[in-house]
Amino acid sequence: MKQLIILFFLILSFNKAIKGQEDYLNFKSNFSDVDSTLLKKEVKQSLDSNDVAISLTATCPWFETLSTKIIVRRNGQWEQKEIISEQFMENSIIKTTSITPNQQVCNEVLKSLIENNLFTMNIDSLIKKERQINKTVTEHFNVADGVDYEFVIITKNKQRIVFCPSPETFYEWMPETIERKYFINCRDSFLKLWKE
């Protein structure tokens, strides 16, 4: 009897873990014209209901070129590519590199993105650049030459952009905005795919 109870709880916890992995597809869209993004242009085949495409781009006023890193889960299999483009010229792809990804590492990265709330993150807190010192004083922060990061997530019917300017700098200045820490975790986890 004891073994049956243990087996029941193991099956229950496994089912919850699987459900949690699928629930991320229920995120709220926050951007309607994702067709203009590089990610949409590169995801040439239509996505099925359980497919997802995620990209990360770092931008800075001093960068001449941009590197957009993309992963796509299509029919349960991961694809991975990197696109180098000119920053200030539309449709200016210089180079596209496709990579055969480690499927297990991609699944671990997705799990990390889910655990760090990428699909539900409060975007307003990521762009917050001021904090209240007291009732009459507000402190404002600005970074002129930092690196900004943008995730774009698309599924068959939804799209979401998660933008964070200079995440480390602003997190250091305002550690109370914990969403930035989650964003940094997401970015670092995602970039592991290009270090494998």
Q: What average pLDDT does the structure give for the chain?
A: 78
User: How far from 93 is each of 67, 84, 89, 147, CA to CA, in Å?
Assistant: 10, 6, 9, 21
**Residue of 25 and 166 predicted with greater confidence:** 166
Domain count, the chain: 1
User: How far from 24 is each of 3, 84, 145, 164, CA to CA, in Å?
Assistant: 33, 29, 33, 20
Q: Give the contacts of 142 (CB within 8 A, at least 6 positions apart).
A: 129
* pLDDT for the residue 6: 46
pLDDT in tens, 129-185: 887 788 887 777 787 678 899 998 888 778 888 999 999 988 888 888 899 999 999
Report DSSP letters for 165-184, one per residue: SSHHHHHHH-TT-HHHHHHH
CA distance 121 to 19: 19
Q: Is the pLDDT of residue 21 over 80?
A: no
- Print the domain residue range for 169: 2-194
Per-residue DSSP letter, 134: S
CA distance 163 to 104: 27
